[in-house]
Structure 1
Amino acid sequence: MKPLTLFAALLPAACVAAPSAAPSAAPSAAPSAGLAGKWQVQEADSAAMPEGVSITLLADGYFHTDGGCNRLFGRYRQSGNRLIFSDAASTLKACADGQHMEIDSRLGTAVGTHRTYRISGTQLEWFNDNGKVVLKAVKSEP
């Protein structure tokens, strides 16, 4: 039950959108074609991720993660080199495998703490306010 408590404690951080100068009711622009797609997460919140962990950024502004147990999902919009997540929610399965709960927690932390991103070829990196990498992924599907 302890991993579930940890995940539940960190989930609110994943659900908070990055502060902005003025609220916007609609996305400022459609996500770029290079950003939309399925990304295989190699590292999240400073930990290596096993094969199969992913985040999918859909062209219509929706996203979802797959860490093997729970799913984090919601909306996002692109603003320059920032992704602004909103309306985030998560399934709350109590998976017996603590490793998957830890993966879910780290994905939620990456979504909640990132501020900017960079794409280089098929590589995606998210950075926090201090410039530290909080997520590394490689594009697996357009």
Structure 2
Amino acid sequence: MKNIMAAPGYMTTLFVVLLLAGCAGSTTMGDGDVVAMPLTNTYWQLVSVAGQPVPESDTEQKAHILFLDDGRVSGFSGCNQYMGDYRVRDENLLFDSMSSTRRACPDSQTEELLFAALAKTVGVNLEGIELRLLGESGEELAVFEASRMK
């Protein structure tokens, strides 16, 4: 039986494969610059809304938003599912035809603030792993962070 460990180049090939596998989820380039995550098909977890950090919750599903390539948007407010349409032109972002489920929640403050932010959004700033929804005068309405789906 042939010993594959002794084959020339085996260890080098194994090292390169392991190195590339370790870098696959990285969002930084070699010079330390952060690579911006794409707006679409990224799980954006809500970090803050109306200047307030989103409180930790016991639920497995966190408040988030997903932008699909076909102009649809969907997400979870921390209590209810929501969906609708969106349009992006340059740095302008508008939501349209938004709707949600109507589940009663003991604490709906985050949901109320998020839905108000979506209604006021006219701009977007995407930098690295952060997505900021902006109001008419450039004020920050909500901040999301790119996160791996669990």
SS state of the match for residue 94, structure 1?
Answer: coil
Q: Which has the higher contact order (CA 8 A, sep 6+)?
A: 1
Mapped pair 1:129 → 2:136: yes
1:60 CA displacement: 1.8
Q: Distance in 1 between matches of 2:92 and 2:133?
A: 9
What's the TM-score, normalizing by structure 1? 0.68
Identity of paired residues, percent? 25
From 32, 47, 51, give the equivalent of 2:52: 47
Contact kept, 8 Å, 2:82 with 2:99, in 1: the verdict is yes
Whose Rg is larger? 2
Runs of 4+ aligned residues of structure 1 deviating over 2 Å after TM superposition are none
1:34 CA displacement: 1.1
Could you list the runs of 5+ residues in structure 2 that have no partner in the other structure? 1-36, 57-61
SS state of the match for residue 129, structure 1?
Answer: coil
Mapped pair 1:61 → 2:68: no
Give the alignment's Cα RMSD to 1 decimal.
1.8
Q: Distance in 2 between matches of 1:34 and 1:113?
A: 22
Mapped pair 1:111 → 2:122: no
Could you list the runs of 5+ residues in structure 1 that have no partner in the other structure? 1-32
Return the structure number with greater strand share.
1
SS state of the match for residue 55, structure 2?
Answer: coil
Aligned length: 107
Mapped pair 1:38 → 2:38: no
